[in-house]
Structure 1
């Protein structure tokens, strides 16, 4: 059974330290993205080494609203605390634009660290932001984009400890050259991970990793603007992480709609997780064993 743990600070067993260890390895890590504590636990129990709390998926699952900046940082933190307390694997937070000016960015990163996250993503979209594969038209200027990343790095170094993933959406808004310039500048400021959103083909993906040294993440969104490639090919191109932001949400929605259609037709859904397995996933047996330990004289 998983229990809440205090903010780990700089100890070697902290979530940021575990993430750094993973990133120091070889190949491309497959990172399914979660949207609540249950999806995060299923990711962990399936053997994956890390996860990412997708803002798109959280906005959908928690509010049934589009990823257009409607969800608040308070709601994201509340969801994030539950996620981080449910698993031991490192989880990266979607910090969106940092939720304001550089002072807001610093506080947001600090709060995500206190919630238990191993890393935080900060992007350069203009607020309100939107999903990067639904037509980003505007990013902030270079000065503001750099200030956001600098503030995030400062929060990390001041004690938050969380790794900083710097994301640019400039490919859609201003073109590839500007996007690559920004990624290089983010790396110079001390960002730990780099994320070019929505490259259009393998050539752009390869150029990004080749031209800008650092740890790169690829966003594998089914039906999005970027080609979905197998992890082995992503590793060849130079990527260290392959994120799957909507895979679990999409299959969950498909399964629930199928089940509801069956119930509407008077039929029990044929594909269900049995009750005994649900008990194990949620920790009922571990809970009972815990109480037995305290029952002994």
Structure 2
């Protein structure tokens, strides 16, 4: 089970590098390159699916469909971005239930005011403590109900309170999330290595760092992140930025009849899965027998 595999990874004395995906193909590439887990980046998924910024424009149904397609394409654990839970506490319960049944090993629930914003962009605001805690309480209750029904999922609890209320408030919220039963804690956008150390030193259990190239949190080497105390280092935009740079370069080159830095057609087919399809489908070719 992917959820148990994620538990096993979190139990290791290691900071896991987690490239974030935005669709089934990017997730397959992550798995093919040997990474042990991935996260569906809301920023990148919104850009990929609807060509719009991650400002609460994608609906619950669209996000769930994207997560289901990704989870079905890869053997590694997927953490889904459940945003604010898409409404009140009852909506949070439905969101957690839906992500578990879609195949996610974990779902992130955050304390931003809806419509949410990407963590490293202006205009973020968080709900008051009571509502934030109710969201995580509802998520944990949904997890318990799922287990009774033979399903399982981990709760990744995120706070964006650092931006508006300071680091102490963010740490206090995250500590309460852990007390309520969250499995993984995520304090978004600490602004220095000292703040990152304070986060990890103050909170129990596995913690996740969010590394955005050019963002507010220091882009430290993996060994340093492990030393600080992180169990996961998420890279939400690395693949999206690389893909967009490569595509725009290719498009500009086509005007001058240039085709540069392209993956070979054979490797392209192999990575997408054509050869596996042909190999498996040959077992059902009765006419050739």
What is the distance in 2 between the residues matched to 1:288 and 1:163? 36
TM-align CA RMSD: 0.9
1:185 corresponds, among 163, 167, 176, to 176
1:60 corresponds, among 43, 47, 71, to 47
User: Is 1:34–1:53's contact at 8 Å kept on the other side of the alignment?
Assistant: yes
Q: Per-residue CA shift, 1:111-140, capped at 9, x if unaligned?
A: 001110000000000000001111244100
User: Is 1:81–1:116's contact at 8 Å kept on the other side of the alignment?
Assistant: yes
Give the SS at the match of 2:52: coil
The equivalent of 2:260 in structure 1 is 270
What is the distance in 1 between the residues matched to 2:30 and 2:137? 32
The equivalent of 2:199 in structure 1 is 208
2:78 corresponds, among 65, 78, 91, to 91
What is the distance in 1 between the residues matched to 2:135 and 2:104? 19
What is the distance in 2 between the residues matched to 1:173 and 1:67? 19
Give the SS at the match of 2:76: coil
Q: Does 1:260 align with 2:247?
A: no
Unaligned runs of 5+ in 1: 1-13
Q: Does 1:20 align with 2:20?
A: no
What is the distance in 2 between the residues matched to 1:54 and 1:196? 16
Q: Does 1:222 align with 2:213?
A: yes
What is the distance in 2 between the residues matched to 1:199 and 1:189? 23
The equivalent of 2:69 in structure 1 is 82
Q: Per-residue CA shift, 1:137-194, capped at 9, x if unaligned?
A: 4100000000000111111111151100000000001111110100000000000000
Q: Per-residue CA shift, 1:229-273, capped at 9, x if unaligned?
A: 111000000000000000000000000000010112x22321001
Q: Does 1:71 align with 2:58?
A: yes
User: Is 1:136–1:172's contact at 8 Å kept on the other side of the alignment?
Assistant: no
TM-score, length of structure 2 as denominator length: 0.96
Unaligned runs of 5+ in 2: none
The equivalent of 1:128 in structure 2 is 115
1:238 corresponds, among 209, 223, 229, to 229
The equivalent of 1:139 in structure 2 is 126
Q: Per-residue CA shift, 1:181-232, capped at 9, x if unaligned?
A: 0000000000000000000000000001101111100001001010001110
The equivalent of 1:153 in structure 2 is 140
Moved more, 228-237 or 127-136: 127-136
Q: Per-residue CA shift, 1:78-125, capped at 9, x if unaligned?
A: 111110111000000000000000000000110001110000000000
Q: Does 1:285 align with 2:275?
A: yes
**Aligned length in residues:** 283
2:38 corresponds, among 40, 48, 51, to 51
User: Is 1:37–1:83's contact at 8 Å kept on the other side of the alignment?
Assistant: yes
What is the distance in 2 between the residues matched to 1:257 and 1:263? 10
1:110 corresponds, among 97, 101, 107, to 97
Give the SS at the match of 2:233: strand
